[in-house]
Amino acid sequence: MRIVTGRSQAEVNRLGQGYRAMAREMNVSATEIATAAVEFWRQGLDEDEVNRRLEATIQYAKIAAMEFDEAATLITAATNTMDISARRVADVFAYLGDASASGPDEIGIAMQKASASAMEFGLTFEWLGAYIAAISEQTRQAPEVIGTALNSIMARLHSIKQRGFSEEDETKINDVAKALSTIDVALLDSKGNWRDMSDIFDDIAAQWDMLNAKQQSYIATTMAGTRQQNSFLALMNDMAKGVEGGSRAYELYAGAMNAAGTAAQKYAVWQESVTAAQNSLTAALQSFYALLDAEWMKDFYDGAAGLVEIFTAGTEAMRGWNIAIPAALAGMAALVAVVYKAVTAFKALKMAMAAGSGLAS
């Protein structure tokens, strides 16, 4: 931490105290927090922003059942490329993951693949997330595949926009404009600039059900290329239903726009399970500590002292052994009873820790 932050040992100690306090408050380990913190400090963020991202990452990691370092990477990718807060990222990931047939982790993984190219075409974070979730429901493809497909579509359009043609199949900007014009959709605005991609997709979807299969294939191939046309077709088939017809993309977008507080809400549910596990562990510890009272120690020392006295007496004449053996057995029985108590407590402690581990995961 000191090497990454460049701060003094005293300042690093203060940071460590803060991370331990955060760990206790959020029911996670300080090691997990420190691991994520190093990732954020490396980005040159100030302390307040590091703490904000830490809180969002903790919540996202736990509700998505992810490792901290992976969650930190996904939060960072979306935050930096889409220029939004970590809190907003965690909320939208949490909402879309649970509202669709995917998961918060899958939304984040797909978003990481596609977010860098989305901003250029005016595609907002919420729209991109809704597209990802809708395609996931339609195809159940791996999140990496969905993210790569959307990124490839954007990269293709970027190439056409910057170079005038696509290297994949030499599709030109005029080809795209011509294809869209067949369904009365404009590629460029009145000033000759590309329109926002979400608006273009909306306009295509509004015409989609009126097209025959050949026309749909023509639009899909021109917009997305041969390799990614299936993802484009899946998205258009859903969006063509419209808001009133039950389009999942539009429904998920509306939910994403109102997702504030979702991560905190779901994290609170996770914390309840952790609290239950902690209570079980606490009870086991209390049971164990109860053995360490004065009466327990008295029994132990009395039994040990009795054994010493008995075996000392055993060095005497044979007459002494007649007394020593029964007494020794009695002393050993007392010690066995004490050991049995300790073993029982340790078993309870082990079971509680196992239960706590299961609930926390």
The Cα–Cα gap between 4 and 209 comes to: 56
Q: What is the pLDDT of residues 314-344, one digit of tens each?
A: 655 445 445 555 555 555 565 556 555 655 6
Whole-model pTM: value is 0.75
139: CB partners within 8 A, 6+ apart: 146, 230, 231, 234
Of 288, 207, 287, 271, nearest in space to 242 by CA? 207
Look up residue 138 and give its amino acid: Q
Query: What phi and psi values does residue 245 have, to the nearest 5 degrees?
Result: -90, 0
Q: pLDDT confidence of 33, banded at 50, 70, 90?
A: confident
Name residue 172's beta-bridge partners.
Answer: 165
How far apart are the C-alpha atoms of 303 and 89, rounded to whole Å? 63
Determine the average pLDDT of the residues in 238-265. 96
pLDDT confidence of residue 341: 60
Asked if the model's pLDDT at residue 360 lies above 50, the reply is: no
How does DSSP classify residue 172?
B
- In the DSSP assignment, the letter for residue 100 is T
- 44 vs 48: CA distance, rounded Å: 12
pLDDT-derived band at 57, boundaries 50, 70, 90: very high
User: Two tokens at 84?
Assistant: 């939004």
Which of 234, 165, 235, 228 minimizes the C-alpha distance to 197? 235
- List 188's β-bridge partners, or say none: 194
Read off the DSSP letter of residue 123.
-
From its phi and psi, is residue 84 left (phi > 0), alpha (psi between -120 and 50) or beta?
beta
Q: CB neighbours of 193 closer than 8 A, spacing ≥ 6?
A: none
| One-letter amino acid for residue 290 of the chain | A
> What is the band of 359 on the pLDDT scale with cuts at 50, 70, 90?
very low
CA atoms within 13 A on the CB side of 120: 14
Dmax over Cα atoms in the chain, in whole Å? 118
Helix (H, G, I), strand (E, B) or coil at 194: strand
Segment 183-204 shows an average pLDDT of: 90
Comparing 356 with 302, the larger pLDDT belongs to 302
Q: What is the mean pLDDT of residues 192-215?
A: 93
Confidence of residue 276 (pLDDT cuts 50, 70, 90): low
